[in-house]
Structure 1
Amino acid sequence: MKKTKNNISNAWIMRPKPHGTDQMDYFLKKNRICIGYPVGQSLKGCNYNDLRRILIEEDLKNQKNGKSSKLINGLSNVNILVRDMKVGDIVVVPHGNDIYFANITSDYVYENVFDKDKLGSGFPHQREVEWLFDGKPLSRNELPTEIRESLQFPGTAANIKKHVDVLNNLLNGADSIQNNFELNNVQDNALKVAELILNAPGSTTDQRLKAAELILSYGKIK
């Protein structure tokens, strides 16, 4: 299992539905996080006012063409991914009850191929990431209360720097959580096999004794 990065200083929530479609598979396979807002150009080097102007101009152009367009409402999300996120920050990606963690490894990346206002595309603004825990999620129920409460925020992106201490403790101890989970699965499977041996008509006395000993050592039959 890949170890986590220790002592993070900033963290973000990023939902995996850029431009209205679930792209969690893309996030994991391409080692990227993305937002929507196709505007026909890269946003590299833009300051906050530049981003605001570009989104407004794109809205006006879309409206002239008869499209409903409110890209400006996503200014905060665009500013977070393009300008505020830094290499080394942690991003928390909720996907139902599965919560993924990644370390941001690049500056802003523009992917022209996805700069299209259509279903399944429209997410050209990206960052490269390294998924923690071999890309496996933690369960929402395993997370500290503070993190679960922050995940109730419905927006696309949000800063959760206030929880960096909680996240450091969680990520530094998550290997143990996962190892315990895997060990419990092995124990459960062993108990199921022992119960089958204990009740099987063809089992020898010695096999039944060993099965009973295993079951009693855990105090119950699954």
Structure 2
Amino acid sequence: ARSACVLPLALGCSQLRLLLAAATLAVGVAMVWSINLHNFMDGINGILAMQAAFVCAVAAAAFAHAGDAPHALGAAAALAAILGFLPFNFPHARVFMGDVGSGVLGLWVALLVVMLAMRPGVAAASGPIAASGFVVDATCTLLSRMLRGRRWYSAHREHLYQWLVRTGLSHARVVALYLAWNVLIVVPALLWIHRPQAHAAGGGMLLAVYAAGTGVWLAGKRWCLRHVARRGGHASA
């Protein structure tokens, strides 16, 4: 009887260790991806600072709402630092983040997303939804290059924000478009999933936001290709 009780317990511990190992691996991969993603997206004046500031603001508000003052202060401090840097990088860049700055912000955003997912009282989908503007652009661009047989690991200029600049839009206007996504889509989605009666709505809203983002990316890329072709530029993408 004793062995019959110990065996299920041992199996349970083994499964728990596997789950913990898988979760640790997933978090590690997500952090590496976030570092690279934010490095790729740091290609025009102000876009990375704007997006990182937005994610920090969302995290600070979510932690404060959940009563987690230490994490809220940490996110707010990062927000203040980014806002202090922003005037030197936007609309005209006098100072650049470089690979080190973009990598640190990518790691910080990943940590915020993980901490938001683990914090009781905060919808787990909050972080991925807040970061959706960059994640959609970088992921759709990567998948597009892989499907077309391109060297997806090599340097390129095929992100949507880069194509928008190629059509003639200024850096400020492109940043404004990404900010508009955050204000018009992300903020309402976050408010929706944090309603008292919306405990199980996070997953569905996350899928809806990323599906909408993918649609916007495809439509935006198609518009850019047509616009560049009409101007006589190179539109092969």
- Would you tell me which structure has more strand in proportion to its own residues? 1
TM-score by length of 1: 0.30
- Would you tell me which structure has more helix in proportion to its own residues? 2
Q: Which has the higher contact order (CA 8 A, sep 6+)?
A: 1
TM-score by length of 2: 0.28
Highest CA radius of gyration, 1 or 2?
1
